[in-house]
Amino acid sequence: MRKITLAYRDDDRTPVIFCIQEMARCHYGLDVQVVQIKGTEEYEAALFNGSGDLLIEHLDYLYLEAARGRKVAIFCAPSKGGGLELVVPAHVNSVVELKGQTMAVRSSGQPHAVTLWLRMMGLEKEVRTVMVKDGEVGRWGQWKKVVSRECIASFISPIYLPQAIGAGLKTLDVPDIPIVGHFAQACLSAFAHKNHDLLKDYLKAVLHALCLMKFSREEALKIVADEPMKRMKITGPQELERRFDDIVAGLKTQPYPTPEAIANTYEIATLEYPGAKGLNPLSLWDLHWVKELDDTGFIDDLLRQMKGGLSP
């Protein structure tokens, strides 16, 4: 069986990863070897030292590598956006009430995404932000600053939402942050050129996994309840289903990035990696596999089969 190595850092990504792996094995004759690389330096070196053929998260540093002359290709963007939840005190009913107040912003990850959201909402000059480290409040615990009334709001990962709700906060239904988001994938351009058919079949597995998760929930949950559940350290089926549904809510079956997402992600990347300024962000994208499969009806056929309860 043909092999391809997929590297990742965060176990929260494993539901999508292992659904891709299973679809690749069952339907496309591919052995997707999943490799976790936790250290940031080691992870960022993976494409260049042969530790991974593909990456599925944390791609911002590739803008700097591209500016340095390395040829890379981002080839799909399955997320709708940032996928975060805005938590506020119970008495807040509109983003208008954030004016003149302070938001708690997680200092790691992509903190500038919050500024982009404020700008989109016309609040960039109306709301102050304060950076809060995980080390101070716990992983994604910035909501604690809202509970203590030091801040009026905070974006948090849905994974940690029950804790915030349990502390008396609520969510506001607001537009998502338009960024490329989780589950975008990249490889070296040289790898793509040498392995065109392999990568095309891998993309079929990705698209198949996205459709499976969105439209064949029980079948996908069986996959997720195996190794992903162990890696995420989840012990109960209810929590697993909640996490699964949170992920699925942010997925799209046509994994094109929007122009706004590309522009915003480029802005985020150049703030973290100033050496990437001046790079044309489109030079990193190669969507011809997605477009070819879309144009030839592959995605539509998957959707029709999944929605009809058939086995593709």
Instruction: Tally the C-alpha atoms within 13 A of residue 82's C-alpha that lie toward its C-beta.
Output: 24
pTM for the model stands at 0.94
pLDDT at 109: 86
Contact of 156 with 85, CB cutoff 8 Å = yes
pLDDT of 306:
86
Which pLDDT does position 55 carry in this prediction?
A: 98
DSSP 3-state percent helix, strand, coil across the chain (nearest 5) = 50, 15, 35
Q: Tell me how far apart the alpha carbons of residues 121 and 170 are, in angstroms, rounded to a whole number.
A: 19
Task: Give residue 158's pLDDT.
Answer: 94
Give the model's pLDDT for residue 311.
Answer: 44
Domains of the chain: 2-80+180-307 (3.40.190.10), 85-172 (3.40.190.10)
Q: C-alpha distances in angstroms, 271 versus 40, 73, 144?
A: 18, 21, 27
pLDDT computed for residue 309 by the predictor: 60
Give the C-alpha distances (Å, rounded to integers) separating 202 from 23, 26, 232. Answer: 9, 12, 24
Distances, alpha carbon 210 to alpha carbons 68, 72, 151, 157, in Å: 33, 24, 37, 20
* pLDDT by position in tens, the chain (length 312): 899 999 999 999 999 999 999 999 999 999 999 999 999 999 999 999 999 999 999 999 999 999 999 999 999 999 999 999 999 999 999 999 999 999 999 999 899 999 999 999 999 999 999 999 999 999 999 999 999 999 999 999 999 999 999 999 999 999 999 999 999 999 999 999 999 999 999 999 999 999 999 999 999 999 999 999 999 999 999 999 999 999 999 999 999 999 999 999 999 999 999 999 999 999 999 999 999 999 999 999 999 998 876 544
HEC letters along 28-42: CCEEEEEEECCCHHH
